[in-house]
Amino acid sequence: MKARSLVFDLFGDYLRFRGGEVRLRTLAGLMGCFDVPEATVRVVVTRLRKEGWLESRRDGRETTYLLTGAAWNLLDEGRARIFDRATGPWDGQWNMVIYSVPETERALREQLRKRLAWLGFGPLSASVWLSPHDRIAQVRASFPDQPNLRLDAFRARSEGPGSDRDMADRSWDLAGLDRDYAALLAEYRPRLERYRRGEVQGRDALVERMQLVQDYRRFPFRDPDLPPELLPAGWSGRAAHEVFLEAHGLLRAPAEAFVDGVSEGTRQAS
């Protein structure tokens, strides 16, 4: 696990629910569970502060790090994208974005493509991306004041169900995604009984829960959360999401108890 990702995941799953702040000593103690040295923790939080994700304050001899507004928004959006799934019937409408970016603005083009993928859009062609979900406003809001970026948006229907499935197959690697979901199921489904019996406690609960999040968080960039009529037969994605939610929930109490214990221990030692 990368130290930067670990810091965000600790804030996202634990520290945000404890005021969105943490003493450096406590954070170092938690990161130590993943064999991250304190010196590395200091470097990471310093960089995150310079990038505008964290603020810091002095409490006596202690340094406390706090989430900025931008970080709160990032964690809120990330949590929704990972934990929530679309409900209700699909209206059959595709939301399409056609973009134009000058060749000299390659970095901007790459940012746009990553953002589109995160929001569940897939590339029907090089500059035409589509989604069954109406998130065009979110795309536009992500790139304000960009004179070199032109976005045209449409809502349209295809010629019918066969065309819809063909467009989905062309825009996303659904077969590859299904295989990876099946691998995740094979990894975590057998663990559920141990979690239900409460056999994973303390540091192990924190480490396993964080690993679960790390393993699952890569899927929202690839999974457009398609309606059932566009998915291959025997789709593993929904089952994988349910296993993720159950495992995450079962490990919550022991992992949070451990985090609280580390926080209390470092407070008393200060």
Residue 87 lies inside a defined structural domain of this protein? no
- What percent of the chain is predicted at pLDDT more than 90? 83
Q: Is pLDDT at 84 greater than 80 in this prediction?
A: yes
Q: Is pLDDT at 220 greater than 90 in this prediction?
A: no
Q: How far apart are CA 1 and CA 79, in angstroms?
A: 19
Q: Is pLDDT at 92 greater than 80 in this prediction?
A: yes
pLDDT at 146: 87
Co-location of 182 and 251 in the same domain: yes
> Whole domain around residue 29: which residue ranges?
3-73
Residue 146 lies inside a defined structural domain of this protein? yes
Residue 226 lies inside a defined structural domain of this protein? yes
pLDDT at 268: 65
Q: How far apart are CA 240 and CA 232, in angstroms?
A: 15
Co-location of 149 and 181 in the same domain: no
**With bands split at pLDDT 50, 70 and 90, how would you rate the model's confidence at 246?**
very high
pLDDT at 270: 61
Residue 161 lies inside a defined structural domain of this protein? no
Q: Is pLDDT at 21 greater than 70 in this prediction?
A: yes
Question: What is the torsional sign of CA 86, 87, 92, 93?
Answer: negative
Domain boundary among the residues 125, 156, 187 is at 156
**With bands split at pLDDT 50, 70 and 90, how would you rate the model's confidence at 62?**
confident
**Stretch 229-257: mean pLDDT, rounded?**
95
Q: Is pLDDT at 269 greater than 80 in this prediction?
A: no
**With bands split at pLDDT 50, 70 and 90, how would you rate the model's confidence at 216?**
very high
CATH number at residue 116: 3.30.70
pLDDT at 47: 96
**With bands split at pLDDT 50, 70 and 90, how would you rate the model's confidence at 88?**
confident
Residue 38 lies inside a defined structural domain of this protein? yes
pLDDT at 59: 81
Strand pairing class (150-156; 94-100): antiparallel
Q: Is pLDDT at 37 greater than 70 in this prediction?
A: yes
pLDDT at 114: 92
Higher pLDDT, 267 or 195: 195
Q: Is pLDDT at 1 greater than 80 in this prediction?
A: no
Weakest mean pLDDT among 152-161, 182-191, 242-251: 152-161
Q: In whole numbers, what is the pLDDT of the chain averaged over residues? A: 93
Say how many domains are in the chain: 3
Q: How far apart are CA 202 and CA 138, in angstroms?
A: 39
Co-location of 146 and 194 in the same domain: no
**Stretch 123-128: mean pLDDT, rounded?**
91
Co-location of 151 and 212 in the same domain: no
Helices (H), the chain: 3-13, 24-32, 38-50, 69-83, 106-118, 136-142, 161-171, 174-188, 192-196, 202-216, 237-250, 252-269
pLDDT at 186: 97
- What percent of the chain is predicted at pLDDT more than 70? 99
Cβ(26)–Cβ(262) under 8 Å?
yes
Residue 18 lies inside a defined structural domain of this protein? yes
Q: How far apart are CA 252 and CA 4, in angstroms?
A: 22
